[in-house]
Structure 1
Amino acid sequence: MSSCQHYEPVSSRRDLLLRSGLGVGAAALASVLGRDAIAAPSVAAAGASLFPNFAPKAKRVICLFQSGGPSHLDLYDDKPVLRQRFNEDLPDSVRQGQRITGMVASQARLALQPSKFTFAPGGKCGTPFSDLIPNIRSIADDVCLIRSVNTEAINHDPAITFFQTGSQQPGRPSMGSWIDYGLGTVNSDLPAFVVLISVNKDKAGQGLLARLWGSGFLPSRHQGVQFRGSGQPVLHLADPPGVSRERRRMMLDGVAELNRLHFQTAGDPEIETRISQYELAFRMQASVPDLMDLSKEPKHFTDAYGADVATPGSFARNCLIARRLAERGVRFIQLYHRDWDHHGDLHGRLPKLAADVDQPSAALVKDLKDRGMLEDTLVIWGGEFGRTPYAQGNANRDAYGRDHHGKTFSIWMAGGGIKGGMTYGSSDDFGFNAVENPVHIHDLQATILHCLGVDHTKLTYRFQGRQFRLTDVHGHVVKGVLA
C-alpha cells in the first residue's frame, strides 16, 4: 500500500481528456480576465519586496474601533454655541441642504442639543476632553486629536466598510489585509492580522460581518483571524482527542504533498494559501495558548487596565491582549467595541460605553510607552462617523439621542510617527461641518500607511483589469499630524 508521501498521479485516457478540457477553460478564462488570476502569485510575491518605500516610524498598528459612531460633541469637540442656542433650529446656512437620514426626516424640527457633559483641559497641551473620559484626558500629551475627519457614508455598514476597506461597497480587502500583503509578517507563529471583538455589558449593539477583516480579492492568507473572548481563542485550533502532535504533523505533511501535486496541475494560488495556513495553524497550537494566558502578567499591569480585564471578551482584556500581540510582532491588531449607536437615551447610555473603553484605552497607550513600544506602534481610536448637533427625539427630554453624522467627527492617534499633544483640524461652531484642515477617510488611510513606510499610491493589486489600492484614486498624507 502506497503512503501519501509516495503518491503518484495516474495517467489514463479519461485523465488526459479531463485535463485537456480544464486547460481550454483556463485559457478562455485568462483571456477574459487579462490573465489576472494566473498572474496573482507573482504579483503577491513581488508586493512584499517593494515595501517599505522609506524608513517607517511605525512597525505595527492597533486600531481601537468604536462601532456605531461615538458622539464627538459629547467626548472630544465641545461647542459652547450649542449651549447658547439650545433648542433653536439648525440654521439653513449651516446645513446647506445636506441630506439627513430617514430616522429624523419626519421630525418637525432639527433642534440644537448641547452636550450635558462637561469638558476640562488635559496634559500640558491643555486639549479639552469630556469628563466621561478622564483617563484618555490624562494621555492628552501623547495624543493627536483630529476634529475634522469626514466621510460620505451616512449609514453604519457602508461607513464601517469605507473606514476598513476604502470603499462603501463590500468586496474590497480590509486595511489589515493590505498591510499584511505589502509588509508581510514578523512572527511566523501568529497571524499578521488579528481581530478581537467586545460588546457593551448591557447590549450587544449592531453586528459586525467577517468581510470587514476579509482579504477581498487579495490571496486569502492575508485575511484577519478573529480571536474569541471565551472558549478556544480560535475555532478548531485544538487537536481532536487521541490525536498526538506527531500524528498531526504526519497528516499535515501528507496533505501538503497532495496539495503541491494539485498546485502543479491547477496553478491556483489559493492552494499555496491552504498549505501555508495549515502550517500556521499547527504553529498557533503552541503560540496562542501562551499568548492568551495572562497569569504571568504582574498584577499592577493588569490592574491598570481596569477591573474588566478579568472578564474574557471585555474591551479591557482585549486591550491587554493587543499589547501582548504587539510584543510578539503582530502587524495589524483590530479591536472592535460595539453599541455606540445612540439614537435615544444618549444621556444614560453614553457614560456606560465611555466607562467601558476609557481606562483600557489610556492604559494601553501608557503600557506601550513604558515599554518603549509607543514610538513604533501606531494606536488609532475612533468610529465610522460622529453624531448630529441636533437632537433625535425631543430636545427637552433626557431620552433624546443623536443621529448619524459624517460631515465632521473626531478620532485620535498616538505613537508610531504621530505628533502628540496637539489638535488638528476643526469643525464649525455647531460641530456640523469640517471647516479647517478637513481629513477625509482616504487621507486617514494614506497617513496610516505612510507611518508604516508605505506610499499609498504604490501599494496596489491588479484585479479584473485594473490596479486597486486601499485609497482607491484618492487620499493625501496628512503631514500636519506627523512627528
Structure 2
Amino acid sequence: MPALSPSCPELTLQQLSARRHWLTTAGYGVGLAALATLLRTSTQAAEKHVAVGGQPTHHPPRAKRVIFLCQSGGPSQLDLFDPKPGLRARHGEELPASIRQGQRLTTMTSQQGSWPIAASPFAFARHGKCGMEFSELLPHTAKLADDICLIRTAQTEAINHDPGLTLLQTGSQQPGRPSFGSWLSYGLGTDNENLPAFVVMISGGEPGDQPLYGRLWGSAFLPSQHQGVRLRGEGDLIPYLSSPPGVDVATRRRTLDTLAAMNRLAQTQHGDLETLARVQQYELSAGMQAAVPELADFSQEKPETLAAYGPDVQRPGSYARNCLLARRLVERGVRFVQLYHRDWDHHTKVEAGLKKQTAATDQPSAALVQDLKQRGLLDDTLVIWGGEFGRAAYSQGALDSPTYGRDHHPRCFSLWLAGGGTRPGYVHGRTDDFSYNVIDQPVRIHDLHATLLHLLGIDHLQLTHRSQGHDFRLTDVAGNVVRELLA
C-alpha cells in the first residue's frame, strides 16, 4: 500500500482509490468487531426478556401495537374534557394575574391588553360507572367512559404548533429526531412482512391550516426502513405500487432478486447499512402489491361495523375511513398506525369549529375502540387520542363577538388512552379553577413517552441509538413512567 512521503508527494487516481477503499474497509472491520461484541452482550441480556414480533423486550409487554389519533391543532380541554362550571359566573371578567403568573403567551394574544375569561358554552355530564365527565360534544366517546384513561394534566414546553407537534411525535422540539413510530419499528420490528411496521394517514384541514411535515413520521438517523409509510386519501393508497404494463410477477421477482444481489455486493464492499435498508424496501413493496389492495377492500366488513364508524366511512380520505383502516392495519400485524386529523386550531369561531371537528371525529374514534374491544384486540392495542397542547381560558378577540376564539395553551391540556394495559375508568390529575395550571400529578411529554414505551415492554432508558457519538433516545434526558396510568 503506497504511502504519502516527501519522496512521493503525489499519488495516482488508482492509488488514491485503493487507499480510500482500504481505509473504508478497515474502518468497517473495526466497527463490525465492536458491533459483534455489542450484539453478543445484547443477546445474552435478551435471554430473560419476552419476545414480541421476533424482537426482545425489556419486560413483559401489555401492548403489542399502537394507534395514535393525533388531533393536530390543539383541541380545547375546557370545552371537551375538563369542566370548569365556576367560570360561568366569571364570564367576561379579567383572568387574574395570579393565575397567569407571567407565563409566556403567543404573539397573537400577548398584545391584547385584556384577557377576559371565556366560559365554555357546552354542557358536561357524568358517564359510566366511573362517573367520568365529558362535554355534550362527545356523546359517543362518553359511552366508553369505563374503558378510557383520561389525563387532564398533560403539559408541554412548546407554545406554537410546529415545535409542539414535533415534541409530541419525536421527543424534541427541534427537527432531526426519529418519530415515536420509527422508534417502535426499530425496537420491536413488524409482525407482517408484506406491510410496513409504521403507517401514517392524514385527514381534515382547510387551506391555510398549519402544515404537517414528513419529518413528523421520519426515521432521522435510524435506518430508513423504520420511517412511516403514508397512505393517500385519494386514488391508490400508495402510488406507483402496481407493476407497469407488460411486467408480470415472474419478471418483477427476477428484477428484485437481481437488484438485491447487486445491493448486497455493494454493501459488502462499502458497508453502508442504508444499502441493506434499500433491499428491505424493495421486498416490502413487492409484498404490498398484494396486501394493500386487500387492506382497502371493505366489502367483507359487516354492515353494522361500517355503520358504527359513521356515514363518512366510505368517503376516501375521511377520518372515519382512516379509523377503520387503522383497525384493519393492526389486525394484520402493523406495529404503529398514526392518524393525523387537522383543523383543531380555533383562534376564531371556537364554538363552530369544535362542533365541526367533534362531528367528524367523535363517532369514528369511539367506534374504533369498541371495534377493537369486540375483536379481542383492545387488551394489547394502545389507543392514544390528543393534540400538541390545549386552549386558553381567556378569549382571543372580542368576547361579545361570535367569532371569538381561544389561543394556544401548553400549561395543561387533556388527552385520553384506551387499552394496552392502561387504567380504565380513571381520571388523572387536577387543574386549577381556570384549567390554566396543574394543581397535582402533571404528565410531561417525556413522562407520557416513557409510560407508553413501558406498556410496550420497553425501558425508555435502554431504547437508544448511537449517532454522531451520542446515544439518543425518545425521552432525551428526561421522563418517568407514570404508574398511576397503568392497569
What TM-score range do you get, normalising by the shorter chain?
over 0.9
CA distance in 2, matches of 1:26, 1:161: 37
Q: Deviations over 1:398-457 (max 9, x none)?
A: 210000111000000000000111100111110001111000000100111011011111
Contact 2:24–2:270 under 8 Å retained in 1: no
Question: Which residue of the other structure, out of 407, 415, 420, is the alignment partner of 1:416?
Answer: 420
State the TM-score, normalizing by the size of structure 1. 0.92
Q: Which residue does the alignment assign to 1:279?
A: 283
1:119 partner amino acid: F
1:215 aligns with 2:219: yes
- CA change 1:95–1:56 in 2 (3 A) is same
Which amino acid in 1 is paired with 2:231?
F
Alpha-carbon shift at residue 35 of structure 1 (Å): 6.0
Q: CA–CA distance in 2 between the matches of 1:318 and 1:22?
A: 49
Matched with 2:123 is: 118
Kept in 2, the 8 Å contact 1:41–1:269? The answer is no
> Aligned partner of 1:255: which letter?
L
Whether the aligned pair in 2 keeps the contact of 1:305 and 1:320 (CA below 8 Å) is yes
Matched, 1:52 2:45: no
Q: CA RMSD in A?
A: 2.3
State the alpha-carbon separation in 2 of the partners of residues 216 and 435 from structure 1. 37
In the TM superposition, 1:263-412 aligns within 5 A as: 263-412=267-416
Match of 1:477 in 2: 481
**Equivalent position of 1:447 in the other structure:** 451
Where in structure 2 are there 5+ consecutive unaligned residues?
A: 1-11
CA offset at residue 24 of structure 1? Answer: 4.0
Cα distance per residue 1:291-327 (max 9 Å; x no partner): 1111111111011000000101100000000000111
Q: Distance in 1 between matches of 2:167 and 2:55?
A: 26
User: Taking structure 1 as reference, are residues 41 and 311 closer, same or farther at Cα in structure 2, changes over 3 Å only?
Assistant: farther
| Match in the other structure for 1:133 | 138
SS at match of 1:360: helix
Question: C-alpha distance in 2, partners of 1:18/1:219?
Answer: 27
User: How big is each residue's C-alpha offset from its partner over 1:322-341, in whole Å with a ceiling of 9 and x where there is no partner?
Assistant: 00011111111100000100
Tell me, in whole angstroms, the C-alpha distance in 1 between the residues paired with 2:364 and 2:448.
Answer: 23
**Counterpart Cα distance in 2 of 1:113 and 1:43:** 57
* 1:96 partner letter: Q
Query: Are the equivalent residues in 2 in contact too, given 1:205–1:340 (CA < 8 A)?
Result: no
Tell me how far 1:347 sits from its aligned partner: 1.4
The correspondence of residues 241-252 of structure 1 with structure 2, limited to 5 A, is: 241-252=245-256
Paired positions, count: 467
Cα 1:116/1:107, change in 2 over 3 Å: same
CA–CA separation in structure 1 for the residues paired with 2:387 and 2:94? 27
Q: Secondary structure at the match of 2:255?
A: helix
> What CA distance in whole angstroms lies between the structure 1 residues aligned with 2:315 and 2:457?
36
Query: Given that residues 119 and 129 in structure 1 are in contact (C-alpha distance below 8 angstroms), is that contact kept between their aligned partners in structure 2?
Result: yes
User: 1:210, 1:40 → 2: CA distance?
Assistant: 33
Aligned to 2:114: 109
**How far did 1:51 drift?**
3.2
Alignment-derived partner of residue 168 in structure 1: 173
Give the % identical residues.
Answer: 55
Amino acid at match of 1:314: S
Q: 1:110, CA displacement in angstroms?
A: 0.9
Contact 1:444 1:478 in 2 (8 A): yes
TM-score, normalized by length of structure 2? 0.92
Distance 1:210 1:461 in 2: 21
Report deviation, 1:105: 1.3
- For residues 472 and 43 of structure 1, do their structure 2 counterparts lie closer, same or farther at Cα, with a shift above 3 Å needed? farther
- Contact residue 63 and residue 379 of structure 2 kept, 8 A: yes
1:81 Cα shift? 2.4
Please point out which of 134, 157, 160 is paired with 1:152: 157
Query: Within 2, Cα distance between the matches of 1:402 and 1:23?
Result: 62
CA distance in 1, matches of 2:166, 2:236: 28
Q: Judging changes above 3 Å, is the alpha-carbon distance between structure 1 residues 284 and 50 closer, same or farther for their aligned structure 2 residues? A: closer
AA partner of residue 340 (structure 1): W
Give yes or no for contact 2:25–2:269 (8 Å, CA) kept in 1: no
Give the deviation of 1:41 after TM superposition.
12
Aligned pairs for 1:71-90 (under 5 A) are 71-90=76-95
Residue 237 of structure 2 aligns to which amino acid in structure 1? Answer: P
Cα distance change of structure 1 residues 43 and 105 upon mapping to structure 2, 3 Å threshold:
farther
The equivalent residue for 2:20 is 21
Q: For residues 77-101 of structure 1, what are the alpha-carbon distances to aligned partners after superposition, in whole Å with 9 as ceiling and x for unaligned? A: 1112221211111111111111100
> Does the C-alpha gap of structure 1 residues 206 and 461 become closer, same or farther in structure 2, counting only changes over 3 Å?
same
* Residue aligned with 1:392, SS: coil
Residue 9 of structure 1 corresponds to: none
Q: Is the 8 A contact 2:70 2:385 kept in 1?
A: yes
Contact 1:199 1:205 (8 Å CA) reproduced: no
Paired residue type of 2:86: V
